[in-house]
Amino acid sequence: MNFLKNIISSAIGFFMAFGLLLIGLVIIGVSLGGESEVKLQNNSILRIKLETPIKDYVANEIDPFSELLGLPAEYIGMNSITKAIRRAKNDPKIKGISIEPTMMTVGMSQLNEIRKELIDFKQSGKLVYAYADFYGQKEYFLSTVADSIFVNPVGQVELKGLSSEVLFFKDFQDKYGVKMEVVRHGKYKSAVEPFLENEMSESNRAQIKALLESLWGDIAYMTATSRKISEEDVNRIADELGGRNADLALENNLVDAAIYYDAYKEKIQESLSLDNFHTISLQDYTKTELNFELETNPDQNKIAVIYAQGEIIYGDGDENVIGQRMMVKAIDKAASNEAVKAIVFRVNSPGGSALSSDIIWRALENAKSKKPLVVSMGNYAASGGYYIACNADRIYAESTTITGSIGVFGILPNVNKFSKNIGINSERVSTNKNPHYSAFSKLDPKFYEVTKQGVDFIYKTFVSKVAEGRGMTYDQVHELAQGRVWSGKEAKENGLVDEIGGLSQAILSAASLAEVDDYKIQNFPNYEKELKDSFKSMPFMKSEETIVKELLGDSNFVLFQKLNALKHKKGIQMAMPYVLEIE
């Protein structure tokens, strides 16, 4: 009896302590956030820094604990960024934009979309300036849209072209006895090289080089156009690292002046002919209440934008990965809503589970029979990411999108050698003769054959569905497939994409197909934040990812992520087995 009383009293004590902790946090939050309401003042400059990692879509949902304690958001959505820039264009209180980028975590196609929004903003005649202590290549590419670019006198501008590094795991597997058994379609060669070889094949090197040159061609052209220099000059500067100090950057017309930040603020003040101006961050601006709503009018016509972002897995899915359950629910909800006149499916994915991809494809096919379906591709829409996009009425991609990679493979982890090295042996007893797979035994040749038949079947299904969706023959798609990746620009040339453009253009296209002029945007899916998720943002509740990153450091953490991701590749995959890290 005393034992039971102790348990009950301990439980009551725990919940009382937990309640007191919450009350304490509320008191702290109130004391720290007494002036948390964001007010937009006259003569304001919108500051765009983009320090927070960017996703295509982050639900406009308030985390009560983060809001209470004034903690920074974990991510910011492209949907919020682009909407804020468009609003600022017509907001009389906003006099201009100051681009102040620092160590941005953003994909190249996302960057291109933000850049386009800033170019459109400039049509208002308002000021757009840029300043940084130093510019990384992505930060500089974004900043080239500015009327004038400024850098710290001891800063630099990184303009070096593009490169990509691929990690190979063959020696690692041989050394530790942990092997990834690869089953692939016969002509799907380069995709699984990291698990089979120690170096890049010439065909794969040529493929990646062609992709990088296509992407860089667009970046160099846009940079040259914005800075009023030639593409030849851009490439010369990249070859010579002609922005490696502020003097060279000025000499090569990469910047307009090398000055300190206080002088930069004076430049803005002089340009606006004001005695003083206020600044507001992009994140704070998205919280302000405005007197008008973009893309909104009294009628109830809607364009549904469904965001599919991350690797494709079999399961529920969330803000970070695409699961068929959540995605099908969102697609069906949009398709059955009479107010929704068209659907835009925004894909930002390197692919993943073949089964999940096919289930999502089917849901989109059903939705397309009810209303127009337009796809917008983000940084990636490759392999399974292309599979779920191929049946749309129209496909839009940025010129810098990485797409294609129409191929299939299977990966089977095998620790037979490792287990023997540490003294573990396995034996199996079965009732039937069909081949079995075990990570502790050598791969059965018969099991390999059965799996290969499945891979070949999925590949043929993939190619057939692309052919049907794109109005091409099987052989035409097969020629473009075999795992080859393409830039968005190349994909348009070979028929895998219809138009070059971002999400805004895709929405306009969907509205045109639906024959509606007045509409508002409704975003899907609706992510539900649970109480336990709110605590992840608390200072004393670090995530596993944060802890591992702190222990390993940034560069080692990237390697850890690549190795850790292998355990999630179950079943037949339609994926880029390595995501190109383009620098």
Can you give the three-state secondary structure of 472-510, one letter per residue?
Answer: CCHHHHHHHCCCCEEEHHHHHHCCCCCEECCHHHHHHHH
Establish if 511 belongs to a structural domain. yes
Sequence-separated (6 or more) residues with CB below 8 Å from residue 162:
212, 215, 216, 219, 582, 583
Same domain membership, residue 385 and residue 513? yes
**Residue 189 falls in the annotated catalytic set:** yes
Shared-domain flag, residues 373 and 497: yes
Q: Are residues 496 and 566 in the same domain?
A: yes
Are 346 and 400 in a shared domain?
yes
Among the options 83, 189, 371, 489, which is catalytic? Answer: 189
Is 383 catalytic? The answer is yes
* Both tokens assigned to 396: 């839009």
Domain ends where: 227, 255, 285? 285
Residue ending a domain, choose from 233, 259, 285: 285
Q: Is residue 434 part of a domain?
A: no
- Name the residue among 304, 326, 286, 319 with its Cα closest to residue 376: 304
Q: What pTM was computed for the model?
A: 0.81
- Kindly state whether residues 301 and 183 are assigned to the same domain: yes
pLDDT of residue 444: 83
Q: Give domain status of residue 489, yes or no.
A: yes
3-state helix, strand, coil in the chain (%, to 5): 45, 20, 35
CATH label of the domain that carries residue 153? 3.90.226.10
Whether residues 141 and 182 fall in one domain? no
471 in a domain, yes or no? no
Q: Which of 190, 383, 504, 509 is catalytic?
A: 383
Q: Which residues of 80-114 are buried (b: 16+ CB within 10 A; e: fewer)?
A: bbbbbbbbbbebeebbbbbbbbeebebbbbbbbbb
**Co-location of 404 and 480 in the same domain:** yes
Residue 313 lies in a domain: yes
Question: Does residue 36 lie within any of the structural domains?
Answer: no
Q: What is the pLDDT of residue 436?
A: 79
User: What is the C-alpha to C-alpha distance for residues 497 and 392, in angstroms, rounded to an integer?
Assistant: 10
The reported pLDDT for the residue numbered 449 is 85
Of the chain, the end-to-end C-alpha distance in Å amounts to: 66
Domain match, 506 and 561 both: yes
> Can you give the residue range of the structural domain that contains 312?
172-200+296-428+476-530+545-583
Per-residue pLDDT, 574: 67
Last residue of a domain, one of 253, 285, 317: 285
CA–CA gap between residue 577 and residue 562 (Å, rounded) = 10
Residues 261, 345, single domain; the answer is no
DSSP string, 15-36: HHHHHHHHHHHHHHHHHH-TT-
Task: Pick the closest to residue 118 from 101, 92, 135, 143 (CA basis).
Answer: 143
Smallest CA-to-CA distance from 250 within 156, 159, 183 is with 156
Quick one: 374 and 253 in the same domain? no
For residue 210, being part of any structural domain is answered with no
Domains: count for the chain? 2
Task: Specify whether 387 is located in the same domain as 264.
Answer: no
Cβ(410)–Cβ(443) under 8 Å?
no
pLDDT at position 550 is: 52
Q: Is residue 213 part of a domain?
A: no
Pairing between β-strand 581-582 and β-strand 164-165 as defined by DSSP bridges: antiparallel
Same domain, 501 and 578: yes
What residues in the chain have per-residue pLDDT under 70?
A: 1-37, 60-73, 185-191, 289-299, 528-583
Each residue's pLDDT tens digit, 513-545 = 999 999 999 999 987 644 444 444 444 444 555
